Amino acid sequence: MSNIENPFEISKGKHVMLLYDKDEARTEAAAHWINKGLENEQLCIYASVYAFDQLHISNMENLFAKIENYQSHIDNNNLQIINFRPYYESALRGNLLPFENLKANLEKLLHDRIVQGKGDKIIVFADAACCLCENKSFDESEILEKWWQDVHDEWLNNSYHITVICPHPNLILGQNKFDSKSKISKLHDLTMDLNEYDLNQLRTSFGQKNAMRILIVESEPDLMTLYAEYLSALDLDVIIASDGNECLSVLKVNDFDIIILDMHLSGIIEASDVAKEIYRIKPNQRIVLTTTNPLNRTSDKIDSLRVNKEDILVKPFMLSSLLEAIKRK
């Protein structure tokens, strides 16, 4: 294991062996790298044997859902999905010519991006060697990883910043009596075992910079904690205010996508007056109201506000209903 402060932050070319036990952890790490790369205007390539495999469509959809603005990046050619099955099948036969063609294509893509002023870095998440291990074709996997490492060294010498991340199934490698894990690890300049990292923390640290920002205005401590923990676990950037004064103070120095405002706040300022002041400060601010009043007996105070009926949640409500309201445009 390479001892660096944050191995998830890879700015220049690396050849990474990514050890994982569960598909979800692998997906989480892949989504993190892709999102970070896209954020930094890098070209990101997801080259998977399962990219267009109907048996693994749910895993692929899970990954795509975790990538920020997925379709937009696909349309703008900032993100490419490559069907790696023909490459895998070729490597299984000992033929690495398709990978040589891929190498040439990556170098051309990098050159073209530099000329166009789009940046000088590419991230490739490639799982052909992983699938060879899953198929117990350990020798073929070692041969492929040796090829990747030689290419990586060549790229470094030519100042090509292309990072290649190769996932490998920890448990399967560990069961191989010929110690393929150690052999394959030595064919990388960085080995990461996802068991050694808190992926929830990884997800949150990324989300705090890029996720939807939400201000929760709620006086009840238990509900404050419940909302905050639930929404933070979904990668949303959450700030809490316990009364109207605190809400308005926070709002004057921060921008929020949504404010979740309870209509039964404690404190000097009533919630309806808080809502009116929010609209005065930021006329286009979206507010989701929570209340104990049934919709068919909604108070005149709520009716006087410019809040859509679908953005009023009557307590008690399911947290999933809160999430639906947040996602609603």
Structure token pair of residue 187: 């064919």
State the DSSP H helix or E strand holding residue 62, giving kind and residue range, or none if neither: helix 57-66
What pLDDT was estimated at residue 5? 39
Long-range residue pairs from 197-206, CB within 8 A, at least 24 positions apart, any chain: 197/8, 199/25, 199/28, 199/29, 200/233, 202/8, 202/28, 202/29, 202/32, 203/28, 203/32, 203/235, 204/232, 204/235, 206/32, 206/35, 206/36, 206/235
**Angle formed by the axes of helices 319-327 and 221-232, nearest 10°:** 60
Handedness of CA 200, 205, 211, 217 (dihedral sign): positive
Return the closest-CA partner of residue 30 out of 42, 48, 14.
Answer: 48
Three-state SS for 86-141 is HHHHHHHCCCCHHHHHHHHHHHHHHHHHHHCCCCCEEEEEECHHHHHHHCCCHHHH
pTM, rounded to two decimals: 0.60
pLDDT tens for the 329 residues of the chain, in order: 333 334 445 556 789 899 999 888 899 889 988 998 898 889 999 999 999 887 778 888 888 888 988 888 999 999 999 999 999 999 999 999 999 999 999 999 999 998 988 888 999 999 999 999 999 999 999 999 999 999 999 998 998 999 999 999 988 887 776 678 888 989 988 888 888 766 555 454 444 445 688 999 999 888 888 888 788 777 788 888 889 998 998 888 888 999 999 988 887 888 889 999 999 988 889 999 998 877 666 556 666 677 777 888 888 888 878 888 888 76
* Cα angle 320, 222, 268; round to 5: 110
DSSP class per residue in 259-282 = EEEETT--SSS-HHHHHHHHHHH-
What pLDDT was estimated at residue 207? 42
What pLDDT was estimated at residue 298? 57
d(CA 20, CA 111): 33
Q: What domains are there in the chain, each with its CATH number?
A: 15-203 (3.40.50), 211-327 (3.40.50.2300)
Three-class SS state of 291: strand
